[in-house]
Chain A
Amino acid sequence: MSTGIDIRKLVKTFTSTKRRFGIIPSGHVETRALKGIDFAVGKGETVGLLGPNGAGKTTTIKILSTLILPDAGEVRVNGFDVVRQPTQVRASIGVITGGERSVYYKLSGRENLILFGRLYRLPRAEAKERADELLDMMGLSKKADEQCEDYSTGMRMKIVFARSLVHDPPTLMFDEPTLGLDPAFAREIRQFIRTKLHNKCILLTTHYMNEADFLCDRILLLHEGQIVASGTPTELKRSIREHDILALHIKGRIARRPLEKLPGVSRVAVTPDVSGTSTLRLHVLDGAAVIRQLLDAVETQGAKVLRFEFEEPTLDDVFIQKTGRRIAEHGSESS
């Protein structure tokens, strides 16, 4: 399989200025966004970069799309070096970033696509033909000549998708493509990626586990600038199969540490809910053996167990096992 994306020992550090009273500079803070990551994505492969906010997913996409320069490492897209051959890289990729706001509001959907077709060096006639083809594919032919400011959010997002495909690039990068979209439309987008773009080299970032599960041939779990696990979704879930996954729903707040000290408990993640309840997700070696001690430990801290259940491991569990925290601590997931 030939390689669309090839990253070796990629490092990126950001420096920001500390300010006193919000205005007076008083020093610098360094944030190591990427700490030497390595991975490759081949043609016909969809690879997901999964991780919480601040893990380095968007930084990776921006380096690949030449918006940011790496500090160290070698990054190639379709054989082109992102530092030395940025124009060639951009000519061979389609990128979604910035959401539905990133279209020209005062142009129609058709005009937006033809414009970018021309900017991606398509001859005029071909740009028009390609725009018609994509509008038809997206179900926007009837609205093609209305200005984008009159489109719904979903329609604008379709134009953003179509724009990334107008020059038929071999490699696509989607940065949180379904973030903020309604569940039905998000499903439509995922279905589109899976059925129409399966022959492309695709890198997508997301913090929706079921999206990664559905779309990706391979997943890389990114945490604080490092890849902590990689594999197919099945492989990743199997890697923690010696653990039982126990979900407890409790009323009240409790601390994690006393539970982690119980024999057989390897990881505990606590997610408070807004209604005063919390969800505990525990990785235990033998759930049946430790359940009574767990329930007692929860009640000792003054909380009340509402219900508990054994669950199948998810990618979130893999993440918890590797890092001790959840991917989406406070986020909601689309079905």
Chain B
Amino acid sequence: MVRNPRSRLVASSRRQTAGQPTPVKLPRVIDFSAAGTIAKNSLRISLRYPANFLIWGVLPLFWFLPFIFTGIAFTGGTTSASYQSQTGYANFIPYLVLGWVVFTYVDSSVWGVGNTLRWYQFSGVLEPMFMIPAPRLSILLGAAVAEMVTTSISTAILFGLSLVIFGLSFAASAVLPVLILLFLMIIGFTGFAFALSGLILVFKDPSVLTELVDTIIYILTPINYSINVLPLWAQPLSLILPSTFALVGIREAALAAAGLPQLWIDIVMLVILDVLFWALGMLLFQVAEHHTRRKGTLGEY
């Protein structure tokens, strides 16, 4: 008697004569089992480069230290009345640290997950992966899970270094709300990465398109400044990004000791955006995949 329902597929294919359809129903949209296998595989490979975690923990420092030094040069210290009136926080250093810690997740969604298929093609394993009996979104979901884990390790290093270098401290009560907001943001950007992958499949231009998208998100997200500093026409665009609501909530939790009840607006908006981004992302990816299969350029860049 076969216990594992999946092994019915195996049992039937082993004794199968060609032409007899396989009895097991296969997922049509996402195969979570395949996604899990892909995530574990990606993590296994990542763990073979332990130095990467350290480097990715240190590298973002080089990206945001210039902003801190600029702030010191422009204000003569670490606080500014103007910054307080714009953002609600006088000290720009913790504001920036939290902004950049969140941005590392955004960056990894865009560059890591969004370019997954490109990395596979680079490594030569794209066609074998495209031929597994799972919907191709499963590949991206697996990559997203692996990326979330590896980014979290690097970000923890970055956050720890920042606390030490800048002498910061945050309330322990902020941990749970921050993790919830981060998790919801990551889900939203995973849907976004589906859409970006689709665009890259069609336009075959991995780095420029990704750079463009990454830069626009970076400008619209309140990483270094609050959204009211943006031009009026740009502010609604900022409000459709999960990173905006995540950052606003995370700062309230970490810098203003807000609890989950006070963050309900941010949480609700994140859930709504997550659903929207996933729906649009999956649709766009499937349209793009169909288009490239029709053109015959699925595995080409």
Chain A interface (Cβ < 8 Å from any Cβ of B)? 2-4, 12, 14-15, 33, 42-43, 59, 62, 65-69, 71, 78-80, 87-88, 90-93, 95, 97-98, 101-107, 111, 115-116, 118-123, 126, 163, 167-171, 201
Q: A99: nearest residue on chain B (CB-CB)? A: B124
Residue with the greatest number of chain B CB neighbours at <10 A, chosen from A15, A65, A120, A163: A120
What separation, in Å, do the CA atoms of A59 and B123 have in the docked complex? 22
B293-A170 in contact (CB<8A): no
Q: B32-64: which residues lie under 8 A (CB-CB) from chain A?
A: 33-34, 37-38, 41, 44-45, 48
What separation, in Å, do the CA atoms of A121 and B295 have in the docked complex? 29
Q: Please, what's the 1-or-0 string for B259-301, where 1 marks a CB less than 8 Å from any CB in chain A?
A: 0000000000000000000000000000000100111101100
Known A98-B127, A104-B125, A119-B38: A69·B19 in contact at CB below 8 Å = no
B299-A14 in contact (CB<8A): no
**Is B18 close to A, CB under 8 A?**
yes
B10-A42 in contact (CB<8A): no
Residues of A within 8 A of B124 (CB): 98, 101-103
A79-B34 in contact (CB<8A): no
What separation, in Å, do the CA atoms of A189 and B88 have in the docked complex? 70
B19-A2 in contact (CB<8A): yes
A121-B10 in contact (CB<8A): yes
B19-A87 in contact (CB<8A): no
Q: A201: nearest residue on chain B (CB-CB)? A: B18
Q: B130-150: which residues lie under 8 A (CB-CB) from chain A?
A: 130-135
Q: Sorted from nearest, which 10 A-B pairs have the closest CB atoms?
A: A91-B133, A4-B18, A101-B124, A2-B19, A43-B18, A119-B132, A90-B133, A69-B293, A118-B37, A170-B18
Residues of A within 8 A of B37 (CB): 115, 118-119
Residues of B within 8 A of A93 (CB): 131
Residues of B within 8 A of A115 (CB): 37, 41
B137 to chain A, nearest CB (A): 12
B9-A168 in contact (CB<8A): no
Residues of B within 8 A of A2 (CB): 17-20
Q: B38: nearest residue on chain A (CB-CB)? A: A119
B123-A67 in contact (CB<8A): no
What separation, in Å, do the CA atoms of A85 and B222 have in the docked complex? 45
Known A65-B131, A91-B26: A14·B13 in contact at CB below 8 Å = no
Residues of A within 8 A of B207 (CB): none
What separation, in Å, do the CA atoms of A80 and B133 have in the docked complex? 13
In the complex, which of the residues B10, B44, B130, B296 contacts A123, with contact meaning CB atoms closer than 8 Å? Answer: B10
Q: A88-B21, A90-B131, A116-B132 are in contact. List 18 more A-B contacts (CB 8 A).
A: A42-B18, A43-B17, A62-B296, A67-B298, A68-B296, A87-B27, A92-B16, A98-B124, A102-B125, A102-B128, A103-B125, A104-B45, A104-B123, A107-B44, A118-B37, A121-B6, A170-B17, A171-B18
**Is B22 close to A, CB under 8 A?**
yes
**Is B7 close to A, CB under 8 A?**
yes
Residue with the greatest number of chain B CB neighbours at <10 A, chosen from A111, A118, A119: A119
B290-A69 in contact (CB<8A): yes
Residues of A within 8 A of B38 (CB): 119
What separation, in Å, do the CA atoms of A162 and B71 have in the docked complex? 59
B10-A167 in contact (CB<8A): yes
What separation, in Å, do the CA atoms of A186 and B129 have in the docked complex? 25
A67-B6 in contact (CB<8A): no
Residues of A within 8 A of B16 (CB): 78, 92, 170
B132-A120 in contact (CB<8A): yes
List 7 A-B residue pairs with CB atoms under 8 Å apart, sorted by A's residue number. A2-B20, A3-B19, A79-B20, A88-B26, A98-B127, A122-B10, A126-B10
What separation, in Å, do the CA atoms of A105 and B45 have in the docked complex? 10
Known A87-B134, A97-B127, A126-B7: A69·B294 in contact at CB below 8 Å = yes
In the complex, which of the residues A87, A101, A170 contacts B133, with contact meaning CB atoms closer than 8 Å? Answer: A87
B233 to chain A, nearest CB (A): 32
What separation, in Å, do the CA atoms of A95 and B129 have in the docked complex? 11
Known A119-B34, A168-B14, A170-B18: A88·B133 in contact at CB below 8 Å = yes
What separation, in Å, do the CA atoms of A68 and B299 have in the docked complex? 10
What separation, in Å, do the CA atoms of A139 and B6 have in the docked complex? 29
What separation, in Å, do the CA atoms of A105 and B125 have in the docked complex? 10
**Is B4 close to A, CB under 8 A?**
yes
A14-B132 in contact (CB<8A): no
Known A67-B293, A87-B28, A167-B13: A120·B125 in contact at CB below 8 Å = no
A3-B18 in contact (CB<8A): yes
Q: A175: nearest residue on chain B (CB-CB)? A: B127
What separation, in Å, do the CA atoms of A119 and B139 have in the docked complex? 10
A79-B28 in contact (CB<8A): no
B300 to chain A, nearest CB (A): 10
A91-B22 in contact (CB<8A): yes
What separation, in Å, do the CA atoms of A97 and B290 have in the docked complex? 21
B122 to chain A, nearest CB (A): 10
What separation, in Å, do the CA atoms of A22 and B128 have in the docked complex? 32
Q: A43: nearest residue on chain B (CB-CB)? A: B18
Residues of A within 8 A of B296 (CB): 12, 14, 33, 59, 62, 68
A147 to chain B, nearest CB (A): 9
Residues of B within 8 A of A33 (CB): 296
